[in-house]
């Protein structure tokens, strides 16, 4: 990987879960290449307990799927301009599921959920 180390995708609770989907990594790396900068990872893989603690959905793509792989990343943003750049560029990197919050942009590769969607977090 050019922009990231595998450790950056690990569950933040320290449980050891660290199984990001290869497609997620490839698309995130492509996105960083297109932006010519690294997007800080706020959250990637999550165990069930940590997902509950942070208020994540029970069907969150941050949780391991049936193959044991996590398919989501929340990339940190400092301002609305950074959010705009990511939202504008993410589809060019292959992302078709994008969520926008004040401090992060959610990107996932979960093909079992609706595609070509953009949502806002309140």
Per the domain annotation, does 1 fall within a domain? Answer: no
Instruction: Assign 34 to helix, strand or coil.
Output: helix
CA atoms within 13 A on the CB side of 94: 16
Radius of gyration of the chain from Cα atoms? 13
Which residues span the domain enclosing 105? 6-120
Strand pairing partners for 75? 41, 105
| Number of DSSP helices (H) and strands (E) in the chain, helices first | 3, 5
Confirm whether 19 is domain-assigned. Answer: yes
Residue 104 domain-assigned (yes or no): yes
- Total number of domains in the chain: 1
pLDDT digits (tens, 9 = 90+) for 37-64: 999 999 999 999 999 999 999 999 999 9
Q: What is the pTM of this model?
A: 0.96
């Amino acid at each position: 990987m050019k922009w990231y180390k595998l450790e950056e995708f690990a569950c933040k609770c320290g449980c050891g879960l660290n199984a990001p989907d290869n497609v997620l990594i490839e698309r995130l790396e492509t996105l960083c290449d297109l932006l010519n900068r690294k997007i800080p990872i706020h959250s990637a893989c999550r165990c069930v307990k940590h997902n509950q603690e942070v208020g994540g959905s029970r069907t969150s793509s941050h949780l391991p799927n049936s193959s044991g792989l996590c398919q989501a990343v929340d990339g940190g943003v400092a301002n609305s301009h950074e959010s705009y750049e990511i939202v504008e560029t993410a589809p060019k990197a292959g992302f078709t599921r994008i969520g926008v919050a004040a401090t992060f942009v959610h990107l996932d590769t979960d093909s079992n959920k609706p595609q070509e969607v953009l949502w806002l977090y309140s």
